[in-house]
């Protein structure tokens, strides 16, 4: 655990404070399945069209790209609906996302999405957390160019984690949680989530979670 102390109540913002969502790029880049789908689908579809209709591979690729755009927009919309703009109120200990409001203590899960950009030698990190069956939020801890959260935002997110009940899921077959990192890739406990918020690991650091 980091030795960084918790911010005093006097330094925390009052009233509802909006949490900025992860940018559109990190929404897809930090989710491997989306990247694979959007990267491979146009190529495979274009090749199939070219062979089936005996047209230029370039025309086929353009047609395939046009067909993929709606898929891209659909995935983007789904992400926005799953992670609406979230706000926190430390005066009432509440998290609000969309129309749903829950106590911070009801936040029980956290997951880290990680994408290493080897050529740029940067690591993109997006922390997602929420209540069981309730509102959820996402925060970009490290962007595509390596930028991290401003100190004031770090204080807000870290305090949310401190007041939460985040824990790694367990299964009856693994009551001690020994294999939790394999059973629930990307999942974090509260102490690990707090450490990652306070000190977002770079690409030179060991991977903090196992990515599916």
Dist CA 70 CA 38 (whole Å): 11
Q: pTM (2 decimals)?
A: 0.72
**What region, left, alpha or beta, does residue 122 occupy, with left being phi > 0 and alpha being psi -120 to 50 degrees?**
beta
Contact by Cβ (8 Å): 35, 29: yes
102: pLDDT strictly greater than 80: yes
The pLDDT tens digits of the residues spanning 3-43 come to 456 776 668 888 999 887 555 454 554 455 555 566 666 66
- Concatenated DSSP letters of 131-170: ETTS-EEEEEEE-TTS-B--HHHHHHHHHHHHTS------
Dist CA 58 CA 49 (whole Å): 10
The residues, any chain, with a CB within 8 Å of residue 13's CB and separated by 6 or more, are: 90, 156
- What percent of the chain has pLDDT above 70? 72
User: What pLDDT does residue 30 have?
Assistant: 46
């Amino acid at each position: 655990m980091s030795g960084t102390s918790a911010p005093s109540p006097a330094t925390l913002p009052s009233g509802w404070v909006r949490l900025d969502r992860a940018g559109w790029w990190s929404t897809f880049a930090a989710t491997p399945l989306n990247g694979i789908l959007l990267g491979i689908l146009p190529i495979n579809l274009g090749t199939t069209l070219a062979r089936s209709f005996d047209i230029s591979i370039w025309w086929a690729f353009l047609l395939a790209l046009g067909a993929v755009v709606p898929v891209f927009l659909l995935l983007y919309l789904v992400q926005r609906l799953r992670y609406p703009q979230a706000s926190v109120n430390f005066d009432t200990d509440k998290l609000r996302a969309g129309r749903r409001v829950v106590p911070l203590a009801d936040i029980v899960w956290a997951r880290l999405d990680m994408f290493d950009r080897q050529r740029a030698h940067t690591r993109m990190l997006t922390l997602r957390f929420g209540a069981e069956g309730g509102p959820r939020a996402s925060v970009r801890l490290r962007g595509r160019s390596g930028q991290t959260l401003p100190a004031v935002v770090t204080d807000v997110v870290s305090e949310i984690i401190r007041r939460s009940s985040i824990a790694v899921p367990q299964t009856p077959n693994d009551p001690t949680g020994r294999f939790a990192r394999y059973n629930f890739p990307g999942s974090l406990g509260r102490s690990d989530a707090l450490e990652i918020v306070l000190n977002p690991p770079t690409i030179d650091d060991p991977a903090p979670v196992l990515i599916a």
